[in-house]
């Protein structure tokens, strides 16, 4: 297990810091993710670490930016240590969708494919169980 897991998971309340998936329903621990990847001068400092579900971590990879689908400009991805989730995202309790409400939110939702059919179906179940958002 990652040596930073306890610190990062406790700070994140055991939720993916990108899509807010609850770790408790998975059969494995979430991953400690480098917000700025080591390959582009990121560090192991706790200010550069986030808890990510497997789906978000794989889709994010080494990316730190993407194209905003609304303005077609390059925008950085959501940074869990610098940004407040509710300033950039809105969870629709009826549909299970996560809506990007800022350019950072839109880019992150798009890049991490947060509204794929499996994610939406899981979120709808979590909503019914009272564990999301």
Cα gap 11→51, rounded to integer Å: 9
Report how far Cα 15 is from the mean position of its chain's Cα atoms.
9
Cα gap 64→48, rounded to integer Å: 12
pLDDT digits (tens, 9 = 90+) for 37-95: 999 999 999 999 999 999 999 999 999 999 998 999 999 999 999 999 999 999 999 99
Q: Any idea where the domains of the chain sit in the sequence?
A: 5-129
Name the percent of the chain in helix, strand, coil, to the closest 5: 35, 15, 45
Q: What is the mean pLDDT of residues 22-27?
A: 94
Residues in the chain: 133
Question: Which pTM does this prediction carry?
Answer: 0.96
What does the pLDDT read at residue 102? 98
């Amino acid at each position: 297990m990652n040596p930073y897991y306890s610190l990062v998971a406790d700070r994140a309340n055991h939720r993916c810091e990108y899509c807010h998936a609850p770790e408790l329903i998975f059969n494995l621990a979430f991953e400690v993710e480098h917000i700025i990847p080591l390959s582009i001068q990121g560090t192991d400092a706790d200010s550069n670490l986030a808890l990510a579900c497997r789906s978000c971590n794989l889709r994010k990879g080494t990316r730190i930016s993407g194209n905003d689908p609304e303005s077609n400009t390059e925008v950085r991805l959501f940074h869990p240590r610098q940004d407040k989730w509710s300033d950039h995202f809105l969870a629709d309790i009826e549909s299970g969708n996560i809506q990007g409400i800022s350019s950072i939110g839109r880019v992150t939702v798009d890049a991490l494919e947060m509204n794929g059919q499996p994610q939406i179906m899981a979120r709808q179940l979590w909503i019914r169980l009272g564990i999301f958002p």
